[in-house]
Amino acid sequence: MNLFKFQKQYSYSLSDSSLTLISLEKWAFVYVRGIDSKKHLQNQLTIDINLLQKNHHKLCAHCNIDGKVWATMLLFHYKDGYAYITRRSIVKKQVLELKKYAIFFDIEIKELSNIFLLGLFGTDARFFLLKYFLDALDKNSSILSMNVGNILCFSKPYERFLLILDLKDFLSFRNQIDEKVVLTDSNQWSLLDIEAGFPIIDKEVSQKFLPQSLNLDQLQAISLEKGCYYGQEIIAKVFYKNLNKNSLYTLIGQSDIFPRVGQTIEAQVGEQWYRVGFLLAAVSIKSKKFLIQVVLKKTINIENIFRIHGVKSIFLIKS
């Protein structure tokens, strides 16, 4: 449900970014509550729930028994349980999978449709929030419980915020928005996530990659010390025996058509092209110019030229 008139225009660099409010229509909000919620999530997700602080959110993954990632998510304490934000394209299947192993627990897992997610970044974003949300923003916390909704704070690729509002608070907030604020859709947030190195997992690439292939180990989104969780044995084996053969990269370049999630990425070696990976996400920067997130073999040469299989395109690794 769009109650703003969001435009399709994206800021690529902070230097030219006006204050921008982003509709996160491609993300979903899931609420997990019940006396066994902590225990169940501990058995399912890649992080140690015991270490999740009240005032912080944490990137993590939900994997299948083979250690392949169902979905990535932002997890945090919410009301009398937990909540997480994940991609809308995968949320129904992912929630069903999470419920599959919850039948013996006192737990409720539900996607909430009455929650509105908005992104905010750009010039004076922090001042803007102080104007509409009277509480001071604590730089030592990555999640803030406000009188109106909650705010998740991010430092990468630069300061930005994710607002969590119910319908009443959303409407109140909307009615106070200054006309000078740029309104745009969720591709802007995808662009920021790509630049931050946060893996974007949609249904087309769900259950395709190990967490390490998505750099989740480097993002402290995997625990190797806590007890068992689904896929833990394989994830630990890959880590300790250094068996991971892939890594997450950001490419920038041109393509005659809009790149599609799941397409094959090829690298040029001499006169030949070799398949080296897959595309996770793409955002258009300008006409025919794209920023894409890909999983590539770790053996690739970072100086290589890349293309999308079957498409007239050229990409380089973004430094």
pLDDT of residue 224: 92
d(CA 21, CA 35): 36
pTM (2 decimals)?
0.93
Alpha-carbon span 244 to 154, nearest angstrom: 28
Q: If we measure between CA atoms, which residue out of 264, 281, 241 comes closest to residue 72?
A: 281
Domains for the chain: give ranges and CATH numbers: 14-196 (3.30.1360.120), 245-319 (2.40.30.160)
What is the reported pLDDT for 265? 98
pLDDT tens digit sequence for 39-67: 999 999 999 999 999 989 999 999 999 99
Residue length, the chain?
319
C-alpha distances in Å from residue 5, one per residue of 11, 23, 215: 17, 10, 35
- How far, CA to CA in Å, does 307 sit from each of 71, 296, 319? 26, 12, 17
Token pair 């997890």: residue = 75
CA distances from 121 to 6, 16, 32, 124, 188 (A): 15, 12, 28, 8, 10
The pLDDT score that the predictor gives to residue 18 is 85
